[in-house]
Structure 1
Amino acid sequence: MKRILLLVALLMAGIITYTFAYSQGDEKNKPEKGVVIQMNGDLFLKDITDYNNIKEWKFKGDKPVVIDFYADWCGPCRLVAPLMKELAKEYEDKIIIYRVNVDNEKELATALNIQSLPTILFIPRKGEPQAIIGSASKDTFKQAIEEVLLKKPAK
């Protein structure tokens, strides 16, 4: 009897674990709203473009994107990070904001010719990406989002 109860308990635990893992897996495939998402080379290939063929830029996303290229040791990068979090919340239904640690993603950073940190890349749905190199104010980033990504004219 004890063996049967143990077997049933193990079976139930397995079903619960599988169900929880399956439902969590579905959520991981959807971009989160209002947060800065850590990006790696594979995610860039899947959601942005093939960085091995940058000469022919073909954006794969359905929302404009901001990518913050940074390093943990970079002081100006640490100043930009909280601004990106604020902007992710402000524009949560309009754009997606990613971060790329260049120390961990050297191949991606090299392919995109990232030479200075921070480099903030603005990728519209149509057209060529544009960049801000170095730290900037929140207003400067907002202006770039409005004009480059959301195509609103300057005031």
Structure 2
Amino acid sequence: MINLSAFSQTANEVIHLDDNSFKEKVFDFTNSKEWNFKGDKPVIVDFYATWCGPCKRVAPVLEELQKEYGQDIQIYKVDTDKSPMVSGAFGIKSIPSFLFIPVKGKPTMAQGALPKETFVKAIKDVLGVNAPESIK
């Protein structure tokens, strides 16, 4: 029998990306200027830094959202200090900054320590994913 707990666990976790893994999973900003999303489900990218107070306040909200939405979305985190190429490619000047990426269409950027309700609204309006029953 196959143990599926490893698969379900990763679907419920926020994943950290660096410059290279961002190019593999989201968008290869070094070889293309035209937006071409590589993912198969909607994504939120959190551009943050370990020393950033507002980033630390938002982190548990993002982890909670990832658990609640599970397989329907993926939340990635990019440390701007460790991944200057991807941060520069998206013009990140202040943190936290969030890139909301629908499967089809252009991404949308938001900045600041957003409350959970704002994320839920953006997930519905920008990403096209309805809130699960647990947070409606």
| Deviation of the 1:55 alpha carbon | 2.9
Counterpart check, 1:68 vs 2:46: yes
**72-81 or 43-52, larger mean C-alpha shift:** 43-52
TM-score (norm 1): 0.75
Q: Root-mean-square deviation (CA), in Å?
A: 1.9
Aligned to 1:8: none
Residue 43 of structure 1: CA displacement?
1.1
Query: Which residue is equivalent to 2:22?
Result: 44
Cα distance in structure 1, aligned partners of 2:114 and 2:15: 20
Task: Name structure 2 gaps, 5 residues minimum.
Answer: 1-5, 131-136
- What is the deviation of 1:34? 0.9
* Offset from partner CA, 1:75-116 (integer Å, 9 cap, x none): 100011000000000111100001000000011101111111
CA distance in 1, matches of 2:45, 2:68: 16
How many residues of Structure 1 are paired with residues of Structure 2 in the alignment?
A: 125
Cα 1:90/1:64, change in 2 over 3 Å: same
Equivalent residue, structure 2, for 1:112: 90
Per-residue CA deviation, residues 27-79 of structure 1 (Å, 9 max, x unaligned), is 79x99211110111111111111112553001111011101000011110001
Q: Deviation at 1:144? A: 0.3
Which position in structure 2 is the counterpart of 1:86? 64
Structure 2 residue 79 is the aligned partner of structure 1 residue 101: yes
Q: Aligned equivalents of 1:54 and 1:119: distance in 2? A: 22
What's the TM-score once normalised by structure 2's chain length?
0.85
Alpha-carbon separation, structure 2, partners of 1:54 and 1:147: 27
More helix by share: 1
Gap runs ≥5 in structure 1: 1-26
* Per-residue deviation, 1:119: 0.2
